[in-house]
Amino acid sequence: MTPPIAPRGCFVTGTDTEVGKTRISAALLHWCVSQGWRSIGFKPVAAGLEQVSGRWINADVQALRQASSAVPLTDAEVGPYQFRAACAPHIAAALESRAIDFEVLLRAARQLAPQSDALVVEGVGGFVVPLTADRDTADLAQALGLPVVLVVGLRLGCINHALLTAESVRARGLQLAGWVGNTVDPAMPWVDDNIVTLRQLLMKRHGAVDLGRVPRLPNPSPQAILSHLDPAGLRQVFDR
């Protein structure tokens, strides 16, 4: 297995796109900062730009940069590839007649890692999303060698998605260190029973710690999300 790129950190993946990876990553960074660590967020590939005050920005990159501490970081350092269209990354790149260079991603990560005591990398969409013709996000996670945190979007079908992702993480030789249940559908039936099943199976099969369950919040700020996460679990993830 590749040695971890940073002394401490994690690769945050999700059961799907739009399940709360950015919100949870920002909360993890907030916790790392509270530990006194130089903490840096990294979004290798971001798809979806909006124009704010005449500038094109990506919301994920902004959120991770704002939750980071340590050195002042530029948007380009936190998000080396940012594409206009909000769609699959290799398609978003092609729409601009560009392509993602895997080596550029690794170089960007290698530049940030030594400046940090904790590096939080937000994946792109789910765990196995194509980036180039022959590389995907799981290859990237593998190359970074960080423990993986899975954001489970709590809605019907999430148990299967979580277990499939966990198997894929293991197949890449990575450790699924922990998981967070994030409420996507507040009306999900039998949510408590789903949580019990996830907790049991993810621990028994993968040794993954339950880091907490986050309700649908009126303002999902890093602080508000963090109040629903378990500090003992976070310590386990980041002290690996």
Ligand X SMILES: Nc1ncnc2c1ncn2[C@@H]1O[C@H](COP(=O)(O)OP(=O)(O)OP(=O)(O)O)[C@@H](O)[C@H]1O
Q: Which 3 state secondary structure label does DSSP give 87?
A: coil
Question: Is 21 one of the annotated active-site residues of the chain?
Answer: no
What is the tally of helices (H) and strands (E) in the chain? 10, 10
Give CA 221 to chain center in angstroms.
16
CB atoms within 10 A of CB 108: 18
Asked if 60 interacts with Mg ion (CB under 5 A), we say yes
Of the listed 23, 30, 43, 213, which one is catalytic?
Answer: 43
Q: Which of 113, 208, 214, 234 binds ligand X (CB under 6 A)?
A: 214
The residue (of 17 and 132) whose beta carbon lies closer to ligand X is 17
- Name which of residues 21 to 80 contact ligand X (CB under 6 A): 21-23, 60
- Cβ neighbours of residue 187 under 8 Å, at least 6 residues apart? none
Contact code string over 219-238 relative to ligand X, x by CB under 6 A? -x------------------
With contacts defined by CB under 6 A, name the span among 10-18, 71-79, 95-103, 130-138 that binds ligand X: 10-18
Please state, in angstroms and rounded to a whole number, the distance separating the CA atoms of residues 77 and 81: 9
**DSSP code string of 92-109:** HHHHTT----HHHHHHHH
Q: Which of 69, 137, 175, 183 binds ligand X (CB under 6 A)?
A: 183
- The binding site for Mg ion (CB under 5 A) comprises 21-22, 60
Catalytic residue positions? Answer: 43
- The binding site for ligand X (CB under 6 A) comprises 14, 17-23, 60, 125, 182-183, 214, 216-217, 220
